[in-house]
Structure 1
Amino acid sequence: MAAQKNPVAELEQLRDLITSSIEAVKKNAVDNADPLLSLKTVEPHPIYSRNDQALAVALKTISSSAHMLRALCDPNTFINDITYGYHDETALLVACQADIPNLLGDGERHVDELAAKSGLNADRLARHLRNLCNSLIFQETAPNRFANNALSATFKAEGKKALVGHCIDEARKSSCKAWEALTLPEYKDSTAANKAPFNIAYETELDYFQYVSSVRTDIGQRAKTAMAGKGLNLGQYLSLYPWDSQQGAAVVDVGGGIGAATLPILRQYPHLKLTVQDLPDSGPGFKKNLEENYPDILKLGNPQFVHLDFFQSSPVKGADIYFLRHVIHDWPDAEAVKILSNTAASMTRNSKLLICEHVVCPTYRVVDNGTAAANGKERGDENKWEAPEPLLANWGDAPTSRLDLQVFTCLNAKQRTKIEYEGLVARAGLELVKVWRNMGDETILECRLR
């Protein structure tokens, strides 16, 4: 008689993954004498910014396992969350527009007080806040009394509130037109930057950047604030590339805005020489960011801002490192190749181009049939970052796929796979020589002149 199969084998696998990972997190927290890990605390817990690979794996395993566990054990609610989830987004937009996180501060408030200060109807505001409480954003401490928690407190920052507005206002409005963009003859196969769902939603022939710089400057400014204020897990981000080995290197942040991506690097590694290049209207924001948030490196007289239109001209020539973070994903292939080609024109044989992006990885498992070893690579080099069974191979990388649809929706652009990046940089006279990864969402693709 054949042995009976275990009917809950997958549940047990998930249980074992979660249990072992919780023990790893507990050991790390105890070893570092950490405070209580709880959503009820308002300050960010130090465990999230600690640069520890084993800890990062454990945290990601718990998160991915819990997500899959809910889908497995409560599929109807899981699907309903997706179907009705836009109401959660709306509730978050309401809370941020009304500035509820700052109105609450460190205490708790009755909804009548919050409504009076925000000019809203108390009952309707309470219903939106209660919906967020069900998603563990804010906490309801008593009937119609609310307080911040670890999640809601993040939206005190202007950059986070702007990101909510950018995503849930113009991006969601544009996303609702995705079906039209996929089916209308003039849109469905177009690779033009002005043939995005955004163009249907806003009834314009201008591409997104043209529109928000000339027609809707209000949402353009909000988008800039949002992009400048996007949170970085600095521990993972700074460890993504060995900056400490680049003694005295001249770094050019191409299309770097106000320096949000590279000023943290310079603070950690002051031996670098930094130039941020972007359109002239980013200059005042760069100066303000430097003065208000980085007075320590301002004293060094090191970082500078230089004007650049990366479609019209090349960056500062002869630098050791050219850094593009979240630039290429904003553009369809033709424009992306133009940016890369102009950057390559400034590079020497010793220069490196570092492209920092979310790289699309498959949910399925890559089978190593020996070709990796035949091509001189370590066996398993391509899939060593895969999640353990029964998780999706890419850990359920929703942030990357959502960002992919975000840039499609607004810009007719895309997040790309490693293979797509190899083809893209080749068209610009470059070659991909190394991929730098850790357990964070971002990847650095190191390129050199071909």
Structure 2
Amino acid sequence: MATTLLQLSGLINDSIASLVKVCEDSGYAVPDLHATPATEDTETFRSNPAAKEAANIIIAAALQLAATLSPPSTHVLNIATAHFKSAALRTCIESNVTEALREGGDDGLHVDDLAIKCKLDGTKLARLMRVLANDHVYREVSPEVFANNKLSMILDTGKSVESLQAEPENKHDGTRGFVAYLEHLSSDGHKASAYFHETLTDVTTSHSPEPNHAPFHRAMGIDIPTWKWYELPEQSYRRRRFAVAMQGLGAVQPPDILLKVFDWNQLKPGSFVVDVGGGIGSSILPVCRAHPQLKFVVQDLPKVAELGKNFYTNLVPGSIESGRVTFQGHDFFADQPVKKPSVFVLKHIVHNWSDPYAEKILRQLRAAAGPETTLLLVDFIVSYVCDEPNSELSSIPGASIVSAPKPLLPNYGPVSETMYVLDMVMLAFLNAQERTLGKLASLLESTGWRIKRIHRGTPPGDFMQPVEAVPILN
């Protein structure tokens, strides 16, 4: 035990020294919890691989120390009661607390004044904010006086409290979208998570692959797929919030990931690239701009495809008229109309579906593929919490993963939590999943595809790991 504690302490001390040195040498701002607002300048140190790795080690080691030294009952109790923090966060988001504090100035506001602006009970609001401030979201600068910090400013829509209260339906319109995603998770996601046990033990839903047998459906008392429910007229706010939330989630991912993870120059001029379920074509846009010698087909539902035409008409003038970019209404469970393209792109599609449905999508693409077709599948690959096993998959280029230094968990422990949380989100809303490399390889092989290469990011934050697959030839 003493050796482990000393090892963790040494990792923290050495990594802090490394992080500070990188910041000083490169002119980066040293991370400051109380910086407001949290500008990109305060996070630029993450662009340096050494600084990013140092930060990851510090976080992982500190949290492992906390787990080691906390009374077991306290540690597990904190996990069991984490939903109360989610509830407090949702209340602050939906009641515009962060915006009210921003308008109140850097010195903060007394909770009574804050409650008047947010139309809440001050005593009860203080109790919610205190549980968040204890986790460093907001600051209690003096008794009953709260102020924003770097973490709470993430919840700021940038709008005035007056406008938010006057037009609550428009809360997230025109924003960066991340607040919408947090609200989506802390409201509907919170409700759905309460029904995991019932859904996983009910004989009707426990082993069902159907998208309407998710915990979300039990929580809401509905029997239609989540996205169809969002399309109902009475779900206008949820529908708009979800659309903005997906933009916000996309914004925290590299916008040019498709451009960087495949050698597009290897394709002959005039080659066809098909973005299946590609929305309005925003993901493939960087590739389209950088490679005018290629042709693109973006497929999605007919209404979305029409929006995509207008999107590209404005951003890539002449691409639609020349036929270099085509938007095509298409259901990816139906026969694929484009035969033998050079590349099929599936970005954030397969993880939305349980295996039987994902197999249908992949089989349609395999049936339309030529012997030289590449499937570029962009999803999250879930790491094990133990050492990755050696298998035949280990020989695939890019398959190897860098483990954290001992005695940390190989996946950097809680630093990697987002990938597992997103897996729970897929289960909660869609009865779907993020997949480990082994499960993804099995899924592809069962539908006629073989993994050729994996594009590993820098662990553990870059858990989106694009995969190149090729047809299995008889």
TM range (shorter): 0.7 to 0.9
| Alignment partner of 1:27 is 2:21 | yes
* Runs of 4 or more consecutive aligned structure 1 residues displaced over 6 Å after TM superposition: 264-267, 287-291
Identical counterparts, % of pairs = 28
Residue of structure 2 aligned with 1:84, choices 76, 81, 86 = 81
| Alignment partner of 1:123 is 2:120 | no
TM-score by length of 2: 0.80
| Alignment partner of 1:327 is 2:349 | yes
1: CA distance between counterparts of 2:301 and 2:285? Answer: 18
Deviations 1:304-356 (A, max 9, x none): 75433222353755554333232211111111112222333454444322222
Cα contact 1:240–1:443 (8 A) shared by 2: no
What is aligned with 1:177?
195
What is aligned with 1:342?
364
- 1:424 CA displacement: 1.2
Give the secondary-structure state (helix, strand or coil) at the position aligned to 1:216.
Answer: helix
- 1:201 CA displacement: 1.7
What is aligned with 2:241?
222
Cα contact 2:344–2:373 (8 A) shared by 1: yes
Deviations 1:352-386 (A, max 9, x none): 22222221221122465xx66xx9939x9755422
Cα contact 1:49–1:234 (8 A) shared by 2: no
Cα separation, partners in 2 of 1:131 and 1:415, compared to 1, 3 Å: same
In structure 1, runs of 5+ residues without a counterpart are 1-6
Residue of structure 1 aligned with 2:98, choices 81, 84, 101 = 101
The residue type paired with residue 61 of structure 1 is: I
What is aligned with 1:424?
443
Cα separation, partners in 2 of 1:33 and 1:300, compared to 1, 3 Å: farther
1: CA distance between counterparts of 2:306 and 2:121? Answer: 39
1:350-365 alignment runs, 5 A limit: 350-365=372-387
Give the secondary-structure state (helix, strand or coil) at the position aligned to 1:322.
Answer: strand
Which moves more between the two structures, 411-420 or 223-232?
223-232
The residue type paired with residue 194 of structure 1 is: N
- 1:220 CA displacement: 3.1
2: CA distance between counterparts of 1:304 and 1:53? Answer: 39
Give the secondary-structure state (helix, strand or coil) at the position aligned to 1:432.
Answer: strand
- 1:61 CA displacement: 1.6
Deviations 1:59-82 (A, max 9, x none): 222222122111112244432321
- 1:404 CA displacement: 1.7
Which moves more between the two structures, 433-442 or 336-345?
336-345
What is aligned with 1:402?
421
What is aligned with 1:4?
none
Cα separation, partners in 2 of 1:262 and 1:91, compared to 1, 3 Å: farther
Cα separation, partners in 2 of 1:367 and 1:348, compared to 1, 3 Å: closer
TM-score by length of 1: 0.84
- 1:411 CA displacement: 1.4
Cα separation, partners in 2 of 1:68 and 1:93, compared to 1, 3 Å: same
| Alignment partner of 1:161 is 2:158 | no
2: CA distance between counterparts of 1:48 and 1:81? Answer: 32
1:228-307 alignment runs, 5 A limit: 228-230=247-249, 232-234=251-253, 238=256, 242-243=260-261, 245-247=263-265, 251-259=273-281, 261-263=283-285, 269=290, 276-282=298-304, 297-298=315-316, 305-307=327-329
- 1:194 CA displacement: 1.9
2: CA distance between counterparts of 1:103 and 1:298? Answer: 40
1:34-53 alignment runs, 5 A limit: 34-41=28-35, 42=37, 43-45=39-41, 47-48=43-44, 50-53=46-49
Give the secondary-structure state (helix, strand or coil) at the position aligned to 1:443.
Answer: coil
Deviations 1:131-167 (A, max 9, x none): 2211111223334333322222222243222212221
Cα contact 2:299–2:329 (8 A) shared by 1: yes
In structure 2, runs of 5+ residues without a counterpart are 158-171
- 1:250 CA displacement: 5.7
Cα separation, partners in 2 of 1:90 and 1:353, compared to 1, 3 Å: same
Cα contact 2:398–2:456 (8 A) shared by 1: no
Cα separation, partners in 2 of 1:391 and 1:50, compared to 1, 3 Å: closer
Give the secondary-structure state (helix, strand or coil) at the position aligned to 1:141.
Answer: strand
- 1:239 CA displacement: 6.2
Cα separation, partners in 2 of 1:382 and 1:317, compared to 1, 3 Å: closer
- 1:230 CA displacement: 0.9
1: CA distance between counterparts of 2:238 and 2:350? Answer: 21
